[in-house]
Amino acid sequence: MSDSDKFNNPGGNDAFAVSADMLTAAEALTTLLRAVAPVKERETVGLTLALGRVLAEDIVSPRAVPPHDNAAVDGYAVYADDLDPASPVLLPVTGLIPAGRPLTRPALRGEALRIFTGAPVPPGPDTILPQEICEEAHGHVTVPPQKRGANLRRAGEDIQTGAVVLRRGTRLRPQELGLAASIGVGEVSVFRPVRVALFSTGDEVREPGCSAGAGAIYDSNRFILHGLLRGLGCAITDFGIVPDRLGAVTDTLARAGYGHDLVLTSGGVSAGDEDHVRTAAAALGALEFWRIAIRPGRPLAFGRVGDAMFLGLPGNPVACMITFLIFARPLLLALAGATVTPPQTYRVIAGFSAKKRQGRREYLRASLHRTADGSVIANRFPQEGSWILTSMTASCGLIDLPESLGGVAPGDWVEFLPFSEVLG
């Protein structure tokens, strides 16, 4: 480790004091998560605005769902004791129960009540016969044998009064919003969105839509990161592109360090002379520069500027996006107050061979296809460069090869992380 890699920690925060020559991805992530102070401020929002937000408190159901015994089909509600287990019986149809309109008198033995899906079943009848298997004529219905309790949904079968239906730390997906609504909860207490300051660095980097000029490239990272941050519900302040001048980087970092929970940058953290991000961040707060045993990915800078955490991602767009998914995403979820769980991966069959350095975790861009027998085969994108952004648009996820592995042969089982698990 060079002198400039050594950790500078004026704040004395233990989480930043860890230093090792080469970290595994898991070690780096653990250190990152340990340094997180989750957002505490809460706000109350209506359900239609709560998508993607993180619950700040448990939700306890004030009622049962379903709230009453009800019919699961359109048909006839009867007492099973009035049925004949061996042959059809004829019963008078003496009442009608549409959805939302309970019967206003007690149900009687020996009668059939015409009932519709979702309509409340009065006390007594315990079996619903679907209309398709019954024959109604002249005020009577012929009903075949039926198992007691058929097609009857019991009150509280889904949710019981007093049950904790959603936990603090849950990110609200459409189904959680529906669940909250189902118990009559119209607004929820959520943590405020995480505030992220974002900028790109590099003298060669230009804003798309402007002319590039000789030697220049367009900024793709900021648009990748913008999309990723949006998917996580962050409030983004975009500081644009900052040139490779220590003064400019220091100035922008200093401004970004206030009013934000995280400052996220790309580029400028490798060891080249023009890479000022590390110098500026170290001068303004605390900085740790990590060499992580992953590919693609290195280098990564982590620290604190002003009030904010700081994460400096690599400049190469593929490495930038992958390190975001591995490190920044869980970090942001933790900051947001969400319960962080590893993303779901799936075992698929490698349709390729690959050499790999043992001790390093490698993420291969891959697409999937299904063979005639239904197996899922992963094919790796042919170009490996961490600047080949078409590899990301052509792929649907990453094959995650652990440190212990020395290579992959066709037919091997490998872990596949679909992008859909981590985008949003």
How many CA atoms lie within 13 Å of 208's alpha carbon, on the beta-carbon side? 6
Which one of residues 75, 193, 233, 267 is an interface residue with ligand AMP (CB under 6 A)? 267
- 261 token code pair: 């929970």
The reply on whether position 19 binds ligand AMP by CB under 6 A is no
Residues 337-376 that bind ligand AMP (CB under 6 A): none
Site string for ligand AMP, 297-316 (x = CB under 6 A): -----------------xxx
Distances (CA, A) of 62 to 102, 182, 213, 368: 21, 11, 64, 45
Site string for Mg ion, 268-287 (x = CB under 5 A): x-------------------
Site string for ligand AMP, 221-250 (x = CB under 6 A): xx----------------------------
* Bridge partners (DSSP) listed for residue 241: 200
In eight-state DSSP terms, residue 122 is P
Do the beta carbons of residue 72 and residue 90 sit within 8 Å? no
Say which entry of Mg ion, ligand AMP, none residue 386 contacts (CB below 5 to 8 A, set by partner kind).
none
The dihedral through the CA atoms of 268, 271, 277, 278 has a sign that is positive
Q: How far is the CB of 157 from ligand AMP (least distance, A)?
A: 53
The alpha-carbon radius of gyration of the chain (Å, integer) is 30
If the CB atoms of residues 146 and 221 are measured against ligand AMP, the closer one turns out to be: 221
The Cα 151–Cα 157 span in angstroms is 13
Which one of residues 202, 317, 337, 397 is an interface residue with Mg ion (CB under 5 A)? 202
Residues 162-221 that bind ligand AMP (CB under 6 A): 200, 202, 204-205, 217, 219-221
Do the beta carbons of residue 51 and residue 177 sit within 8 Å? yes
If the CB atoms of residues 198 and 401 are measured against ligand AMP, the closer one turns out to be: 198
CA 307 to chain centre: 26
The Cα 103–Cα 109 span in angstroms is 15
If the CB atoms of residues 193 and 268 are measured against Mg ion, the closer one turns out to be: 268
**Interacting residues with ligand AMP (CB under 6 A):** 200, 202, 204-205, 217, 219-222, 266-270, 272, 275, 314-317
